[in-house]
């Protein structure tokens, strides 16, 4: 899985650039994962495979497997891998909640905003845990509560005129560290820590690019689907104005907060 709170519509020909959006968070996850040359890494909700490829390069005596439910993103991941000529990485279209991973094979597991949509999170993390060797590390990034996300409130305000963010489910279902602790403990993990991170997320080089980027997000298409043509145009005009308000010399940025969650099998 990938960050389905920002999920593009399956039929869309445009693929959202999560790697650009989450560039400030990627380094935190990579540092916490701390891949060694002999590691075998599982990347859950790998998207286009940035973390998977980076891990494979570090684990040059080991391997990296990326799993995601999106065939479009996995196709892009495989093309990038072929271009970079990385021999020890592969990708599978799979739901990590039920996929039959080889037992006790991996020494590291990671997810960049890809674990919040499991129908049964205890079952999902139990399945992931079975794939890890005892003592192995799980590192994941998850969004904090939706009320902590400037991007949620700003986009919602622009499209609806109401600043009330979405309920803390879906993309924000793991925003409560106590709940995450309970889930991971029930799934067989220990030494669980949640570190508060605050980083801006990127939505393009300029306001027009920002509008184009967020138009393919599920939250945007869902809100726009409720409007008629005139209302849609007014909403998009407000959205562009919002992007302009957040436009800097380095592009369009919105504040966000996440938890960096670390646990051991």
Domain ranges of the chain: 4-148+167-205+254-264
Question: pLDDT digits over 205-253, tens only?
Answer: 999 999 999 998 888 998 899 999 999 999 999 999 999 999 999 999 9
Inter-axis angle of helices 71-84 and 50-58, nearest 10 = 40
In this structure, how many other beta carbons lie within 10 angstroms of the beta carbon of residue 84? 12
**Can you give the pLDDT at residue 2?**
37
Question: Which class would CATH give 4-148+167-205+254-264?
Answer: alpha beta
Structure confidence at residue 124 (pLDDT): 97
Query: Left, alpha or beta for 178 (phi > 0: left; psi -120 to 50: alpha)?
Result: alpha
Distance CA 77, CA 47 (A): 7
Q: Other CB atoms closer than 10 Å to residue 201's CB: what's the count?
A: 21
pTM (2 d.p.): 0.91
- The reported pLDDT for the residue numbered 14 is 64
Kindly tell me if the per-residue pLDDT of 62 is higher than 50: yes
- Do 69 and 94 contact (CB within 8 A), yes or no? yes
Over 70: is that where the pLDDT of 133 sits? yes
What token pair was written down for 41? 């890494």
Cα–Cα distance, 212 to 80 (Å, whole number): 23
Q: How far is the C-alpha of 33 from the C-alpha of 17, rounded, in Å? A: 22
Distance spanning both ends of the chain, measured CA to CA: 21
CA dist., res. 226 & res. 40, Å (int): 46
* pLDDT band (50, 70, 90) for residue 164: low
Write down the pLDDT at residue 166. 55
Res. 165 pLDDT band, cuts 50 70 90 = low
Q: What local confidence, expressed as pLDDT, does residue 217 receive? A: 87
What pLDDT was estimated at residue 11?
35
Cα torsion for 53, 57, 61, 63, to the nearest 10°?
A: 0
CA 55, CA 61: separation in Å to the nearest integer? Answer: 11
| DSSP β-ladder status, 106-112 and 132-143 | parallel
Distance CA 216, CA 202 (A): 15
What's the chain's average pLDDT? 92
Could you report the per-residue pLDDT of 76-85, keeping only the tens digit for each? 999 999 999 9
Residues 19, 22, 24, 27, Cα dihedral to 10°: -60
Kindly tell me if the per-residue pLDDT of 169 is higher than 50: yes
């Amino acid at each position: 899985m990938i960050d389905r709170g920002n999920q593009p519509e399956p039929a869309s020909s445009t693929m959202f650039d999560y790697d650009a959006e989450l560039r400030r968070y990627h380094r935190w996850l990579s540092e916490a994962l701390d891949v060694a040359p002999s590691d075998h890494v599982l990347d859950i909700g790998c998207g286009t495979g940035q973390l998977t490829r980076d891990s494979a390069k570090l684990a040059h005596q080991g391997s990296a497997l990326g799993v995601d439910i999106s065939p479009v993103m996995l196709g892009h991941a495989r093309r990038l891998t072929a271009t970079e000529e990385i021999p020890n990485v592969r990708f599978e279209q799979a739901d990590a909640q039920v996929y039959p991973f080889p037992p006790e094979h991996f020494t590291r597991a990671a997810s960049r905003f890809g674990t919040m949509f499991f129908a049964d999170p205890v079952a999902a993390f139990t399945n992931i845990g079975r794939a890890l060797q005892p003592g192995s590390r799980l590192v994941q990034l998850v969004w904090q509560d939706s009320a902590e996300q400037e991007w949620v409130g700003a986009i919602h305000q622009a499209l609806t005129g109401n600043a009330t963010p979405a309920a803390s489910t879906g993309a924000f279902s793991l925003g409560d560290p106590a709940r995450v602790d309970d889930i991971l403990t029930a799934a067989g993990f220990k030494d669980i820590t949640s570190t508060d991170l605050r980083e801006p997320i990127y939505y393009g080089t300029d306001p027009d690019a920002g509008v184009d980027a967020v138009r393919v997000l599920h939250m945007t298409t869902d809100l726009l689907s409720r409007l008629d043509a005139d209302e849609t145009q007014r909403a998009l005009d407000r959205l562009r104005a919002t992007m302009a308000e957040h436009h800097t010399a380095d592009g369009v940025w919105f504040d966000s907060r996440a938890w960096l969650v670390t646990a051991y099998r």
